[in-house]
Structure 1
Amino acid sequence: MAPIMDISADNKDKQLTIIFNASKNEPFKVTDGYKILQRKLKGNWKVLVNREAVGPEVLTGCSILVLPGPRDMFSEDEFINIKQFLDSGGNLMVLIGEGGEKGFHTNINFLLEEFGISINNDSVIRTHYYKYFHPKECLVLNGVLNKGIESLAGKLNHSSITNEGSYAKSSLPFIFPFGATLNVARPAVAVLSSGSAAYPANRPVCALYNPQDSRLEDAKKSKNGGRIVVLGSVHVFADAYLEKEANRILWDILLKFLLGDPGFELNKVDAEDPEVSDYHDVPDTAKLAERLRVCLQELDEIPADYTKLFDPKLFSISSDLVPEVLEAYSQLRVKYEPLQLIKPQFENPLPALQTAVFPPSFRELPNPQLELYDLDDAFSSEASHLAQLANKCILGSQEDENDLEYFIRECGNILHITTQLEAGVPRDASHILHHVAVHISEFKKLNAS
């Protein structure tokens, strides 16, 4: 593997220079996590690594700046430098992960919101298992929102990849591991979603910004402006997932967009109205349960006589029904006498514990069941087998013709003659004897010559 060049190297080629930022505690670097991607790029690209603050001297001569999951805050000067880099024609790729800004402790949305993109503090989870065990390793089979992406993916698929028909269900099935969703508004365009099998369902996970977009106002158009790609998962192009599904094709498509490839063209109808679902926030029930509040329901006016607020009939003690109870005794012909307490009798469900006189006797385990076989029969020679067979089959009368048939067939099996017969030939005594006679005649011919 070729060593990664430092940003201070001379003779930089603006068209073929890509910088991976490593100054914000990124989880992946080209030497650790992105090795396969670095090997793929080193043939046509000059791959650089930035370990200092993002400044003008770092971005000079750079064609694409990649932010692979920044986990620290950007300063105001760094944002200004990145915007100037975009205005001068540079391109930007932002990769993030589950939890968004909150999970990565960064402020990248401050830059992206100006272009109509923001990253949510959520996580994409597949609702049922398919191929990948972890629920956050979300396999998306129907996540393409723009027919232009699907068309380009189909061309790359047929021209550069043949992978045992794994792309039969969709032209761009990709695995989206440990990622977050995006909020996308004009002038940005959502091109990939989480699909229908994930939660949140049908939410944008990849967005593109093109300054030459015809939807932008004339005053905001910039022929020299740079393009932006935002992807909600930093693991998509990692070594563990780059060669899975169509992730490598996805990288080629995004690279073509950033380079302004003339063959990359989005469908205008899908760009105007992508098929995405609305994002619904739900309350955090666990947190709300710990923070109880008084109900704000309006109450009725309190009467001047507060005794009306009490209902004495609910728990009152009255003897009004005593005459009716006494009359019921005579009607039922039951002797009237004061109630007596019936002494309860409790039955013990188990006998009382007693001290054991003899130690408990446990049943021993049975002997292991070994397969029985005759050692003499297993290790005896062919001659011994033939002798035993001859003792079993003694020719004596006409009724023993079946023994002769059995004797010849068993001799053929012992001497391995049966296996030498041609396919389709019956394994009976006549064919075995015919086979032996043919071999004897051949042997005599050879000796006669």
Structure 2
Amino acid sequence: MTPKAEAEEQVSQGAMTSILFDETKSEQFRVLDQYRSLHGQLGTVLPVEINKEEICDEALKSARVFILAAPREKFNQSELDCLKKYVDGGGSLLVMLGDGGENQYSTNINFLLEEYGIMINNDSVIRTHYYKYFHPKECHLPNAISNQTLIGALPHTSGGKKAARSAFNLVYPYGATLNVAKPAVPILSSGHLCFPSCRPLCALYHKQGVGKIAVVGSGHMFSDSYLDKEDNGKFKDVLFTFLCTDSIDISYMDADDIEVSDYYMVPDTARLAENLKVSLNAPQDIPASYMDLFDFSLTSINTNHFLEAKNSYELLGVKYEQLKLIMPEFETPLPALQPSVFPPTFRELSVPPLELYDLDEAFSSEAARIAQVANKCGDNDLAYFISSAYEILGMNAGNSTNQKGEKEMLYSMALQIASFKKQGQTPLDIF
């Protein structure tokens, strides 16, 4: 029975009926963005849905496969308990991440995976030799399949399983390695051409009567950019056949024979080289004082060679006298430097604004000024003469001449003259 037919049979029996992608943890890969091709291919097997609510039992009720495509937020305790209950109840969980592991993605999915013998490391897989792909993190993996059962699920060639394994190549872009322990089984290996070498890249977990877990260290494998490269599409078919159906059973026969190297942390040799330590060769007989182990002759100060230095004056014909300080003379082959900018030009001060004063008007008496106005006026300038005289005498202080007519002005001046006449003053002395 094909995977599609078996999935349709489970749907007809009212079992878990959909493939559910989670998007509540800011996943890096989304169904309608980076996984469009995967969405179209999975839709022919089971309906594909998106979970945008909190992870709970009700949300996972109808999910045949629940996919976490590189989550970038932490899970709370209730969500982790819900996922564990989902797996123990027969559900299938697919977890994908990327290079850098939990530190890069700020998640805590390892807290759940470690209970099943799987952990995603905080590292990156790179290819040590250039082949076919430009970026070192786009790793081309020949003979990456390491589990006998998975090899049996691959389409056979005329040469049998061995030929199918050698012809099965993958591209593993921007991914991390895994740590796998029983009961989980690694199914992909980085091989000898990548670093870290011979480390698990994908692991499966399945126990009779319990659900399934698949962990892939690179979520980019199934993105639109890499799904059609090499045999990534075939590996996707085998992986989802394992998750959606019961036609593939993990083989533990060759689990101990998988060529997997220990995970060694490489020291930072460049930093260690900068901190050189002095190595002391201990003599055969260790002296009583540890200070005898040090040689101070190169940096010591003594007068052992004073006599030889003094005799050298006679040999060289130099007068023996006290040394004098010779002032050094510094020659400057180039002229003195000058700033490569123009001196600032300040704007000259403007000429002070001198007002033009009419000296006759400024220093003449009021009687003389009234006489000057009278000489300028004729018979028709009576109104002008009255307003000018009114202004010269200072009668318009606080009032505007436009508000009074000539008659009012004459009346005001007459009142002033009358009031001062009572005091025995002349009219011009009044003002």
Same fold (TM over 0.5): yes
Check whether the contact 2:87–2:93 (CA below 8 A) recurs between aligned residues. Answer: yes
Q: 1:270 — aligned with what?
A: 254
Check whether the contact 2:28–2:70 (CA below 8 A) recurs between aligned residues. Answer: yes
Check whether the contact 2:21–2:69 (CA below 8 A) recurs between aligned residues. Answer: yes
- Written as runs of structure 1 = structure 2, the 5 A alignment for 1:317-332 is 317-318=302-303, 322=307
- Written as runs of structure 1 = structure 2, the 5 A alignment for 1:39-78 is 39-78=40-79
Check whether the contact 1:138–1:177 (CA below 8 A) recurs between aligned residues. Answer: yes
| DSSP 3-state at the match of 2:72 | coil
2:38 and 2:149 map into 1 onto residues whose CA distance is: 24
**Residue deviations 1:17-40, cap 9 Å, x none?**
110011100011111110001111
Task: Letter of the 1:209 partner, please give it.
Answer: Y
Q: 1:286 to 1:54 in 2, by over 3 A?
A: farther
The alpha carbon displacement at 1:312 in A equals: 7.2
Give the one of 282, 295, 304 matched to 2:266. 282
Task: Letter of the 2:256 partner, please give it.
Answer: E
Check whether the contact 1:95–1:231 (CA below 8 A) recurs between aligned residues. Answer: yes
Confirm or deny that 1:138 pairs with 2:161.
Answer: no
**Residue deviations 1:4-55, cap 9 Å, x none?**
xxxxxx9995354110011100011111110001111112211000011111
Check whether the contact 2:131–2:140 (CA below 8 A) recurs between aligned residues. Answer: yes
Who wins on radius of gyration, i.e. which is larger? 2
Q: 2:21 — aligned with what?
A: 20
The alpha carbon displacement at 1:254 in A equals: 0.9
**Residue deviations 1:353-391, cap 9 Å, x none?**
9xxxxxxxxxxxxxxxxxxxxxxxxxxxxxxxxxxxxxx
Give the one of 229, 236, 251 matched to 2:221. 236
**Residue deviations 1:293-351, cap 9 Å, x none?**
x99x9xx99979x9999957853343667479969x9xxxx885559xxxxxxxxxxx9
Q: 2:184 — aligned with what?
A: 188
Task: Letter of the 2:94 partner, please give it.
Answer: M
The alpha carbon displacement at 1:283 in A equals: 4.1
2:25 and 2:187 map into 1 onto residues whose CA distance is: 27
Report the aligned-residue RMSD: 4.2
The alpha carbon displacement at 1:153 in A equals: 2.0
2:224 and 2:19 map into 1 onto residues whose CA distance is: 18
**Residue deviations 1:35-77, cap 9 Å, x none?**
0011111122110000111111111121110110010011111
2:230 and 2:87 map into 1 onto residues whose CA distance is: 32
1:56 and 1:268 map into 2 onto residues whose CA distance is: 32
The alpha carbon displacement at 1:282 in A equals: 3.1
Gaps of 5+ in 1: 1-9, 159-166, 213-222, 340-350, 354-449
**Residue deviations 1:60-111, cap 9 Å, x none?**
1211101100100111111111111112211100011111111110000010
Check whether the contact 1:96–1:234 (CA below 8 A) recurs between aligned residues. Answer: yes
Give the one of 192, 196, 202 matched to 1:200. 196
- Written as runs of structure 1 = structure 2, the 5 A alignment for 1:431-446 is none
1:149 and 1:92 map into 2 onto residues whose CA distance is: 18
Gaps of 5+ in 2: 1-10, 281-285, 321-332, 336-431
Confirm or deny that 1:105 pairs with 2:106.
Answer: yes
Check whether the contact 1:127–1:198 (CA below 8 A) recurs between aligned residues. Answer: yes
The alpha carbon displacement at 1:170 in A equals: 2.5
Check whether the contact 1:20–1:68 (CA below 8 A) recurs between aligned residues. Answer: yes
Aligned residue pairs total 307
Check whether the contact 1:117–1:207 (CA below 8 A) recurs between aligned residues. Answer: yes
Q: 1:261 — aligned with what?
A: 246
Q: 2:236 — aligned with what?
A: 251
Check whether the contact 1:142–1:196 (CA below 8 A) recurs between aligned residues. Answer: no
Q: 1:13 to 1:49 in 2, by over 3 A?
A: farther
The alpha carbon displacement at 1:144 in A equals: 1.6
The alpha carbon displacement at 1:179 in A equals: 0.5
The alpha carbon displacement at 1:271 in A equals: 1.5
| DSSP 3-state at the match of 2:215 | strand
1:245 and 1:17 map into 2 onto residues whose CA distance is: 28
Check whether the contact 2:151–2:164 (CA below 8 A) recurs between aligned residues. Answer: no
Check whether the contact 1:183–1:204 (CA below 8 A) recurs between aligned residues. Answer: yes
Confirm or deny that 1:177 pairs with 2:173.
Answer: yes
Q: 1:83 to 1:184 in 2, by over 3 A?
A: same
1:312 and 1:136 map into 2 onto residues whose CA distance is: 55
| DSSP 3-state at the match of 1:84 | helix
Percent identity between matched residues is: 41
Task: Letter of the 1:242 partner, please give it.
Answer: L
Q: 1:301 to 1:258 in 2, by over 3 A?
A: farther
Q: 1:105 to 1:303 in 2, by over 3 A?
A: same
| DSSP 3-state at the match of 1:55 | coil
Q: 1:66 to 1:303 in 2, by over 3 A?
A: same
Q: 1:348 — aligned with what?
A: none
